[in-house]
Amino acid sequence: MKSSDDLHANRPRIAVTGGAGFIGSHTAVALYESGYAPVIIDDFRNSAAGVIGKIEGLIGAKLECYAVDCGDIASLSQLFAAPLHGAIHFAADKSVGDSVAEPEQYFANNLGSMAHWIRAMRSHGVAHLVFSSSCTVYGEPDSLPVDEQAPLQEATSPYGYTKQAGEQLLRYAHAASHAADKTTPGSGMGAALLRYFNPIGAHPSAAIGELPLGTPSNLVPFLTQAAAGLRDELVVFGNDYPTADGTCVRDYLHVCDLAEAHVAALQHLEKNPGDFDVFNLGSGSGHSVLDVIRTFEAATGVAVPHRIGPRRPGDVISVYAAAQKAADILGWQTKRSLHVALADAWRWQQQVG
Ligand code: UD1
């Protein structure tokens, strides 16, 4: 295995905050495969330290890694000692329910740490930033598919609010960096804000995937645990919505497709230094909860024990992406089907047990 020094010798370094998490770990692999040196910053509050070894196994090289909160800038002097080409900022808490119970934590982590991180990036002249946003910023959209021009709705949870505010922070930071550029040329940064729809699946090797702590609140990890017999049954949250089969509709995309979108966004910023833009990342297709169950069963041959239960408060009825802008500007679109994503999620579930 190559050492992290060898890794740095020829490749642009890209800081990946939250790089041991679900999307961050897959993006670290995609970055390496595209010629970059991912540098992981993760405090492992919601991820396993063993993920780093798994990423290293997939890429065949040692990683540069900092086991700290990305807002703890005093512990990151080594990180900034060598040139950083760009950063992808994933680090955030992401549970809608927990955010309602612990709003202070969500503000402190998703916004406080982020603000420290962005200020450090700007003061070290890091040119490119890719940010993890969410389709949650659209709330219940007025029309479907939802495009980037759709108005943002008032957030229904502290989590959703932190994504909207994170986007706004970057708008201000981008403007400030370009104002400063007039006196300090080269200080203007570029930012790509990526609004994810519903990422699912796992790396086809089953070496990395989603590792929810405790009871999963998201559909696919709960579904695979129910199929594996680790949960009695999946409860479908409501079948009386105004959709084709009465269950909620979402735009599910494979996490490896999503990881590749981050590389495409970074390359877009390299070609368009100082740019600021927002992109939906989704497949463009909506699938109901029952579609997901049926597709999982067809892909794996494994039955999902499930029953219809009450609605979950706060759920949007239907949301899926207009994905054309990412195709036109980033040259990115999803390549992997729902079927493949669910088969990969199942392979991962069987591996983690
Ligand atoms: C939510 C957030 C999203 C966030 C994501 C990750 C909103 C509107 N969306 O997505 O921003 O990035 O969580 O934490 O705030 N379902 C069941 N049974 C279950 C679990 C889920 O039927 O046990 C249904 C839900 O009602 C929903 C669909 O499955 O219709 C997907 O749910 P989930 O995976 O939790 O994601 P979102 O709520 O769409």
What are the pLDDT tens digits along the chain (353 aa)? 766 666 557 899 999 999 999 999 999 999 999 999 999 999 999 999 999 999 999 999 999 999 999 999 999 999 999 999 999 999 999 998 899 999 999 999 999 999 999 999 999 999 999 999 999 999 999 999 999 999 999 998 999 999 999 999 999 999 999 998 888 877 799 999 999 999 999 999 999 999 988 899 999 999 999 999 999 999 999 999 999 999 999 999 999 999 999 999 999 999 999 999 999 999 999 999 999 999 999 999 999 999 999 999 889 999 999 999 999 999 999 999 999 999 999 999 999 98
Q: Which atom of ligand 1 is nearest to the CA of 292?
A: 29
Q: Please give the structure tokens belonging to residue 27.
A: 């993006």
Q: Check if 36 is active-site.
A: no
Domains (ranges, CATH) in the chain? Answer: 4-200+254-282 (3.40.50.720)
Is any atom of ligand 1 closer than 6 Å to the C-beta of 141?
no
Measuring CA to CA, which residue among 296, 307, 302 is closest to residue 342? Answer: 296
Q: Encoding tokens for residue 88?
A: 């992808």
Task: Specify the pLDDT at position 4.
Answer: 62
C-alpha span between 148 and 323 (Å, rounded):
9
pTM beyond cutoff 0.95: yes
Q: Can you list the alpha helix ranges (DSSP code H) found in the chain?
A: 4-10, 22-33, 50-59, 77-81, 96-101, 103-106, 114-123, 158-181, 219-227, 255-271, 289-300, 324-325, 338-352
Atom 36 (ligand 1): residue with closest C-alpha?
218
Alpha-carbon torsion angle 13, 18, 22, 24, nearest 10: -20
Residue 133: CB within 6 Å of ligand 1? no
Cα 316 to ligand 1 centroid, rounded to whole Å? 9
CA of residue 332 to ligand 1 center, whole Å? 24
